[in-house]
Structure 1
């Protein structure tokens, strides 16, 4: 378990490239037969990943938060970006194909992560937030997610935002999660940018080639910085930061949010003439 502490925007202005990457970029999430996790002090979110190959992996509580089980006071959303997966929650099995997701509510005592076929292992990404109530475990496939078609080819940002865990879909306490798929020829996401100072966000970039990159933009609108991101790396986005990006080729990303408000539309647009 890595721990990432919160940063205030005034100090952030002085950060070097290496310090920005150290605090906000998660470079290694997917390792064979191991669960990798990062605990951030931004809204106490946990970001994790694993590739179960030869055995099922048990999601266990870390010493960091002093609880008996991982979901004792938490909820979690899992997304499969690899081969077929089998998730067992308190003994009940759920099969997840690629881009299927699973919401698991507070209080589940046993979560096992496995691959249906070791020759085509699952690749599971998950985010977890604190929860005040226990809600049902629900599987969501991409055809059941709520699609929002946004942008245009003229502005290189034609994309579909699939909402999985949100106010009008699978219910949670505060965690929201979805997937954005860009259309061919589009490379920009969330431009013009926005802020939502009531909540943080995490991005996992995936569906990229080995030699392609995404330039993830962050920082206050008048003090922007960037992080160069490879395939299957994640970025933490503080509440005070914009969060947009452009890729050298096609890419997709999983977004997850936690914090004060529980509405996808809680955004403060940033006028283009204020960006610096």
Structure 2
């Protein structure tokens, strides 16, 4: 498990490209036959990816870093399959996940295992985990069951569909909020006009991009913006003080997850384009 420590906006102003990528960009999440995790001190997020190939893979705690006997001893987790069909077995109950289906698993579940339906064409499970104080039921949400909202327009190149899986009016959790945004063909911008939300941090995971596709992810304070070049199946840690927006070389999809003081999706501080620097 890789550890990332929290940063502040003052010191981030002085970071060069390499330092920005080291602190905020998560690469190499998917390795066949392995489970990969990054532990961020920003709201204690754990972000991970797993490709169960020939054998199932168990979700296990890094006892040294987590100080826990099992992964969900003090945590909850949201999992979205971004690959072919697979399943997650929770305490003996198997949940099949098609592409873009989501599974929430609450605190206290000891036995969690990832499986692929076809080892030659394995599933790709992306997940976010945050600390939890109460147990909520394990719930599967298919893509068609998620709460859907259409935003933006082709005129501003940000026509998109938001699917909310884990949220106040959907799957209940302690603090994790999780969903997915799909940009329609011909649209490249997400979350513009942008915003911050000082009560919550966020993690963005970009995928469904061609091999030569790029997203220029914008971060930093509104008056001191920075950018990171992001490729397919890479993630960005976004602290509460930072904007989080991006523009791609073509349309793409991203999974967003939030954690912090509240779970109100629209609790944000909007930033007008004229105020960005």
TM-score (norm 2): 0.99
The residue aligned with 1:113 is 114
Ranges of 4+ aligned residues in structure 1 off by more than 2 Å: none
The residue aligned with 1:11 is 11
Instruction: Quote the Cα distance in structure 2 between the aligned partners of 1:271 and 1:252.
Output: 24
The SS at the match of 2:73 is: coil
1:233 to 2:234 alignment: yes
The SS at the match of 1:71 is: helix
The SS at the match of 1:128 is: strand
The residue aligned with 2:157 is 156
- 1:250 offset after TM fit, Å? 1.6
TM-score (norm 1): 0.99
The SS at the match of 1:15 is: coil
The SS at the match of 1:253 is: strand
- 1:65 offset after TM fit, Å? 1.5
1:1-150 correspondence runs (5 A)? 1-62=1-62, 63-150=64-151
- Cα RMSD for the two superposed structures: 0.5
- 1:120 offset after TM fit, Å? 1.4
The SS at the match of 1:31 is: coil
The residue aligned with 2:221 is 220
Instruction: Quote the Cα distance in structure 2 between the aligned partners of 1:174 and 1:202.
Output: 14
The SS at the match of 1:21 is: helix
Instruction: Quote the Cα distance in structure 2 between the aligned partners of 1:171 and 1:149.
Output: 23
In structure 2, runs of 5+ residues without a counterpart are none
- 1:145 offset after TM fit, Å? 0.2
In structure 1, runs of 5+ residues without a counterpart are none
1:179-198 correspondence runs (5 A)? 179-198=180-199
